[in-house]
Amino acid sequence: MQRKLWLKYALLAALVLSAPIAAYASSRSDASITMKAKTALYLAEDVKGTAINVDTINGCVTLYGTVHDEKEKARAAEEVHKIEGVSEVRNLLHVAPPATNATVMNRSDDSIKVDVEKHLKADRSLDDSSISVKSVDKGVVSLTGKASSLDDNERALYCALSQPGVVRVSSKIDVSDTLPDEDFRTEEAAKPATGQRTVGGVASDLWITSATKMKLAADSRTPATEINVDSRDGVVTLFGMVPTQKSKSAAAEIAKGVAGVKRVENQIEVVSAAKQDMVQARDEEIQAGVKKALLDRGEQENAGIGVEVKNGVVRLTGTVPTWQRNLSAVYVARSVTGVRSVRNEMKVVIQNAAKS
């Protein structure tokens, strides 16, 4: 009897101790959620995913762009809601019916196949993947092969969908469920060793996005957690809502200063809050809030992050195991009420390769 009781408590203890680890393992980084959201929108039959900008901050996915009707707008949000790790979907999509004189380009399936294959081959960022066109049937392109990362998979789908005459894309691509961690290396850390992944000498879009977000979080002029960033071929689109024109202009200035940025599309909306809830929380309260937020979001797993606060400016020290976690911890801290900016002094100590 005592042996059975002992086994029962031992099993219960094991379940309790494993719960936080299991919870963290099932969580996803913001960047991987964004990639999976884009992929889902590209593959949805009744959504034009290439017209939608996507960004994720602390599990909240923001959709921005133009769709044809309310049904497409609702479907886009529905697809994103299904993704593991999504806590909320902020749907900022605008509805604009297509022009009555809009024409659809009709091309032969053979021409479309040749065109898509040519563009996939020309995209040097896909060199470490092996993705090809399996078939084309009435404008529906079927892709196959293996993608070395979520980023490569998303890029291949976008490449195919962007070609004239393509109606839809289906995919049998075998995808590695990771993102290159070097694409989250800070700009300062990347400069000496050119650590960010490059395509023909140009910084990758994922690196540009993460570098821009890191700089926004460090600047007290911008409410970073209200500003979304999406990059494509070096063109950065900023969207979201800020309270002043000064914040909007500052965000564009910051983005333009990031290496590899060719152009900035500043689509941020200025929305003055009816009530400025600017409660000046004491530094001690902010510190407690940041520590709790880091713990609740699992950022302290396999990490040792120190938190100091002075006049609303948070200083993060200690170590994290990946560059993705480095960026994530900064944004978790920046989202806490009362935080004016974040000074990131954390060190990245690579341990075992982890899922994104």
- C-alpha 66/C-alpha 321 separation (Å) is 38
Reported as a single tens digit per residue, the pLDDT across 258-287 is: 999 999 999 999 987 654 444 456 889 999
Is the domain defined by 109-175 classed in CATH 1.10.420.10? no
Looking at residue 282, its pLDDT comes to 85
Residue 301, phi then psi, degrees to nearest 5: -65, 125
The tokens for 127 are 């060199």
Looking at residue 278, its pLDDT comes to 43
pLDDT higher than threshold 70 for residue 104: no
The tokens for 224 are 């970073």
User: b/e for 305-337, b at 16 or more Cβ within 10 A?
Assistant: bebebeeebbbbeebbbbbbbbbbbbbbbbbbe
User: What topology does CATH give the domain 181-270?
Assistant: Alpha-Beta Plaits (3.30.70)
Looking at residue 59, its pLDDT comes to 95
Phi-psi region of 194 (alpha: psi -120 to 50; beta: other; left: phi over 0): left
- Tell me the longest C-alpha to C-alpha distance in the chain: 81
Looking at residue 81, its pLDDT comes to 96
Helix (H, G, I), strand (E, B) or coil at 203: strand
Q: 137: closest CA among 161, 113, 114?
A: 113
Q: Is the dihedral of CA 69, 95, 238, 125 positive or negative?
A: positive
Q: Same topology for domains 109-175 and 283-348, yes or no? A: yes
- C-alpha 162/C-alpha 42 separation (Å) is 10
Helix (H, G, I), strand (E, B) or coil at 41: helix
pLDDT higher than threshold 90 for residue 132: yes
Looking at residue 277, its pLDDT comes to 44
Q: In sequence order, what DSSP letters do the residues of 288-336 get, joined into one string?
A: HHHHHHHHHTTTTTT-EEEEEEETTEEEEEEEESSHHHHHHHHHHHHTS
Q: In sequence order, what DSSP letters do the residues of 63-90 get, joined into one string?
A: EEEEESSHHHHHHHHHHHHTSTT--EEE
Task: Report the predicted TM-score, pTM, of the whole model to 2 decimal places.
Answer: 0.83
* pLDDT (average), residues 283-308: 94
Is the domain defined by 30-95 classed in CATH 3.40.190? no
Helix (H, G, I), strand (E, B) or coil at 277: coil
Looking at residue 191, its pLDDT comes to 65
Looking at residue 7, its pLDDT comes to 44
Q: Which of 99-103, 316-320, 336-340 has the highest mean pLDDT?
A: 316-320
Reported as a single tens digit per residue, the pLDDT across 190-233 is: 765 444 556 555 689 999 999 999 999 999 999 999 999 999 99
Average of per-residue pLDDT values in the chain: 86
- Percentage of residues in the chain having pLDDT higher than 70: 83
Helix (H, G, I), strand (E, B) or coil at 46: coil
Looking at residue 354, its pLDDT comes to 47
pLDDT interval class at 28 (50, 70, 90): confident
Reported as a single tens digit per residue, the pLDDT across 43-99 is: 998 999 999 999 999 999 999 999 999 999 999 999 999 999 999 999 999 998 876
CATH C-level class of 283-348: alpha beta
The tokens for 54 are 């996507």
Give the domain ranges of the chain. 30-95, 109-175, 181-270, 283-348
Looking at residue 202, its pLDDT comes to 62
